[in-house]
Amino acid sequence: MKLSAVKTEGLSKEFKVVIPASDIKPVFEAKLAAYAKNFSMPGFRKGKVPAQQVKARYGYRAFQEAAETLIEKTQRKALEQEKIKALTTPKISVSKLEDENSDIEYTLAVDMMPELPTLDLKGFTSEKMVADITDKDIQSLIEEQFKDFPMYKNAGAKAKAALGGAVRADVVFHIDGKAQKPTKGARIELVEAQKEEKIVAGLIGAVAGEEKTIEFDPIEEKGKKKKVECLVSVSEVLEKTAVKFDDDFAKELGFESYAALKEQTLKNVQSGAESKARACLKRELLDYIDMQATFEVPSSMVNAELESILRQVKSELTETEKKETSDEDLKDEYLSIANRRVRLGLLLSEIGNNKTIKVSNQELSQEVYRIASQTGTDVKKLVDYIQKNPSALNSIQAPLFEEKVVDALLADMKLAEKKVSLKDLDKHYDEVLSSDMPEKDKKKAASTEKKATKSKAAAKK
């Protein structure tokens, strides 16, 4: 093997590799001999076919296999010889590949693992925010969420159903005169936007005790048209009333009592608050790590991350914004964020490997099911796609791994808790999210740097 450097740009290196024909021939002949052992043809026993016939039949295949073997072996040898720890899978471009009597030539492009700094997290003294959730908070949240919830009361025996109101009724569909499974005591809301629909239109003006037969368009089954009718037996005419947050209201939502509704709301709010507090803490930790992580990273990785960010940003732009924003402007804005993400990714990967953190198959499966449920994708199709696309698997595995590393780091720290109101937690959380925007990223970094400087000074004392 002959190895010569072609190009060096930062942590990216490119080499030219030449495998002489003298190295190719013995590997080729060994591959060909393996085929010869099991090859038979008329007039010759298995393994006794003349070499010329074997080569005519299997020569091309044997050479391709020999070339693959030698390229794999020499690229590993090249990296060992140059003492290069590859960060990503090396890229190979074959420029000469003829036959076993000619040299093989290819270029080997590789991104090198940068020298990572040793992190000192002892100075990280942030506080863990804990939401102080009051009964008043829960009441306000319920009232805000359900302020427009439709509540009704009996409008009286002689009242006529009208738009904006509702009826309580038993409903049964008939197909070709055959009754289907009935629905008892259904509340049918007569919504203004649905006034043209047949059931709503048919019930306007109905009174308690009245039966309405509503005809629908025929349906076709096995080439035969079948008549469809709906029999609605009105038991009550209802009129809208102001929402009262009491047991009756809670029962409309499926709870046994208003106290049960409040209890469930509290659990949901607590879970959401804990997630927000952790997200804020994670961001502060990553900011702190980032300040200690000034090192060069391969440009190819930064460019790949930048492209990923830009795809997401562009998908969220309006058509007008797309016309007013050039790709170059976006690249300038988001380059520092891409660089930061790559640096942090490398550091967290190193920490995770040192702590022997792994993402289990069970955790991956749970995440796949969660994604499928959230996106409405068929699980089997999603699994098939992931199996065929390693990058898709990595896009699921990498965030899970990062979260486990962050959890491990936070678990090693004894952080003080700070009680805050829901309002203050939400405000802080929004600020943290908005700091991902380029114009605010620098402000956030400056703020964190000042905080970290104070922490370091305190640690020295």
The whole-number pLDDT of residue 21 equals 95
Residue pair 162/204 in contact (Cβ under 8 Å)? The answer is yes
Do 236 and 279 lie in one domain? The reply is: no
- Residues in Cβ contact with 241 at an 8 Å cutoff, skipping those fewer than 6 apart: 151, 152, 153
Percent of the chain with pLDDT over 90: 65
The whole-number pLDDT of residue 461 equals 31
Query: pLDDT grade, residue 435 (50/70/90)?
Result: low
Furthest-apart CA pair in the chain: how many Å? 106
Do 283 and 213 lie in one domain? The reply is: no
Length of the chain: 461
Distance CA 62, CA 48 (A): 18
Instruction: Count structural domains, the chain.
Output: 3
Residue 401 has pLDDT above 80, yes or no: yes
- Strand positions, DSSP E, 347-454: 417-420
The whole-number pLDDT of residue 320 equals 87
Tokens at residue 425, please?
């937690």
Do 224 and 339 lie in one domain? The reply is: no
Q: In this predicted model, which residue has the larger pLDDT, 314 or 458?
A: 314
Where residue 215 sits, what CATH number does that domain have?
A: 3.10.50.30
Do 271 and 362 lie in one domain? The reply is: yes
Which of 80, 111, 142 is where one domain is finished?
111
Query: What tens digit of pLDDT does each residue of 338-383 get?
Result: 999 999 999 999 999 999 999 999 999 999 999 999 888 899 999 8
72 within domain boundaries: yes
Do 301 and 385 lie in one domain? The reply is: yes
Tokens at residue 66, please?
């020999």
Tokens at residue 203, please?
């019930």
Residue pair 151/337 in contact (Cβ under 8 Å)? The answer is no
Percent helix, strand and coil across the chain, each rounded to 5? 50, 20, 25
Residue pair 243/151 in contact (Cβ under 8 Å)? The answer is yes
Q: Compute CA distances 7 → 10, 16, 174, 270, whole Å.
A: 10, 9, 79, 56
Do 303 and 450 lie in one domain? The reply is: yes
CB atoms under 10 Å from CB of 44, counted, come to: 12
CB atoms under 10 Å from CB of 439, counted, come to: 9
Do 237 and 265 lie in one domain? The reply is: no
Do 84 and 204 lie in one domain? The reply is: no
254 within domain boundaries: no
Residue 439 has pLDDT above 60, yes or no: no
9 within domain boundaries: yes
138 within domain boundaries: no
Burial 115-154 (b: 16+ CB within 10 A, else e): eeeeeeeebbbbeebebebeeebbeebbeeebeeebbbee
429 within domain boundaries: yes
389 within domain boundaries: yes
Query: pLDDT grade, residue 443 (50/70/90)?
Result: very low
Which residue carries 């305190």 as its tokens?
458
Query: What tens digit of pLDDT does each residue of 256-274 get?
Result: 999 999 999 999 999 999 9
The whole-number pLDDT of residue 365 equals 92
Do 279 and 314 lie in one domain? The reply is: yes
- Residues in Cβ contact with 386 at an 8 Å cutoff, skipping those fewer than 6 apart: 368, 392, 393, 396
Q: In this predicted model, which residue has the larger pLDDT, 352 or 442?
A: 352
Residue 316 has pLDDT above 90, yes or no: no
| SS3 (DSSP) at 364 | helix
Query: What tens digit of pLDDT does each residue of 13-62 get?
Result: 999 999 999 999 999 999 999 999 888 888 788 878 888 888 999 999 99
Query: What tens digit of pLDDT does each residue of 63-103 get?
Result: 999 999 999 999 999 999 999 999 888 999 999 999 999 99
Q: Side-chain half-sphere of 365: how many Cα atoms within 13 Å? A: 3
Do 386 and 455 lie in one domain? The reply is: yes
Quick one: average pLDDT of 124-148?
93
State how far Cα 137 lies from the chain centre.
Answer: 32
Nearest CA-CA partner of 8 in 112, 95, 78, 92: 112
Do 216 and 271 lie in one domain? The reply is: no
Residue 445 has pLDDT above 80, yes or no: no
Where residue 57 sits, what CATH number does that domain have?
A: 3.30.70.1050
The whole-number pLDDT of residue 103 equals 96
Do 51 and 160 lie in one domain? The reply is: no
Looking at residue 413, what DSSP letter applies?
S
Tokens at residue 214, please?
């509503």
Which of 198, 213, 242 is where one domain is finished?
242
157 within domain boundaries: yes
Where residue 339 sits, what CATH number does that domain have?
A: 1.10.3120.10
143 within domain boundaries: no
The whole-number pLDDT of residue 436 equals 58
Query: What tens digit of pLDDT does each residue of 403-434 get?
Result: 999 999 999 998 999 999 999 999 999 988 77
The whole-number pLDDT of residue 226 equals 93
Domain of residue 191: give its range: 150-242
Which of 111, 142, 175 is where one domain is finished?
111
